[in-house]
Structure 1
Amino acid sequence: MAEKITSLERSFYGRGPRNVKVSVSDDEPISLVVLSVDSLTVADAVLSERGHKDAVIRHHEALHEATKAEFQDAIEEIIGSPVSAYLAQVHPTTGFAVRVFVFSDQGDDDEA
């Protein structure tokens, strides 16, 4: 799973994270949390260092929305269950990026 996330990030962002950690809850609803370490591009780092942290966040929000289907499809293929909710965000200073995939009968991935 970490390899697939790294591959997708490399493909879409021009570089992959330094490390990816995956955690899975054992309670309902099942959630899968993917933490990408050192995920900022050089351009992101320049913007952040020069006080444009909101621009980094907006940039990554747009990227997350534009690539949502590919990340969801990859996780669904690995897990074998549909994703009912997907959330993603990046910290503009540390470069930690998180993706949360929720698997539940509740929710509709088209609403967000």
Structure 2
Amino acid sequence: MQITRAQRSAVAERITQLERSFYGRGPSNVKVSVSQDVPVSLVVLSIDSLTAADSVLSARGHREAVIRHHEALHDVTRADFINAVEDVVGSQVHAYLAQVHPDTGHAVRVFIFADSGDSRELDSLDDRDD
């Protein structure tokens, strides 16, 4: 599996669009890195991704509230981000991890791609909903 420069650029655009849609604002910059080692992973770093409310909470000592807020958002938007990346890259995501730093606003999303025959993360999520 090979992820091209054009695909990385398209992923950055899609992540920015989704963050704008879900968070009310997009990051000031998005950087996409790829590890071509097996398993292939794609790392998306969003710069300055905190909302105004997140920044107020963090500045006033409520860092855990910012983390919980973003964990909840990551949980409910997981499928949207996975589907967007799969659509651009054309391969199934095996695992997805996301976290934000409550002080700097750096947010990271890691997409790990499945080898053929591996089940998708979403398959296990769908099973939990039953």
TM over 0.5: same fold?
Answer: yes
Pair 1:7 & 2:17 matched: yes
Give the count of matched residue pairs: 112
- Pick the structure with greater CA Rg: 2
Q: Is the 8 A contact 1:28 1:104 kept in 2?
A: no
Query: Relative to 1, partners in 2 of residues 1:4 and 1:108: Cα closer, same or farther, differing over 3 Å?
Result: closer
Aligned partner of 1:23 among 33, 42, 52: 33
Kindly, what percent of the aligned residue pairs are identical?
68
Structure 1 position 9, deviation (Å):
0.2
Aligned partner of 1:40 among 50, 72, 88: 50
4+ aligned runs moved over 2 Å, structure 1: 104-108
The aligned counterpart of 2:89 is: 79
| Local SS of the residue matching 2:93 | coil
> 1:23 corresponds to which letter in structure 2?
S
Q: Give the distance between the partners of 1:82 and 1:2, measured in 2 at CA.
A: 18
Runs (5+) with no aligned partner, structure 1: none
Q: Give the distance between the partners of 1:3 and 1:85, measured in 2 at CA.
A: 21
| Local SS of the residue matching 1:84 | strand
User: Structure 1-normalised TM-score?
Assistant: 0.95
Question: Per residue, is there more helix in 1 or in 2?
Answer: 2
Structure 1 position 104, deviation (Å):
2.2
Q: Give the distance between the partners of 2:77 and 2:119, measured in 1 at CA.
A: 20
Structure 1 position 26, deviation (Å):
1.4
> 1:76 corresponds to which letter in structure 2?
E
The aligned counterpart of 2:110 is: 100
The aligned counterpart of 1:55 is: 65
CA RMSD of aligned residues (A): 1.4
> 1:73 corresponds to which letter in structure 2?
N
Q: Is the 8 A contact 1:38 1:94 kept in 2?
A: yes
Deviations for 1:60-102, whole angstroms, at most 9, x for unmatched residues?
0000010000000000000101100000000000000000000
User: Structure 2-normalised TM-score?
Assistant: 0.82
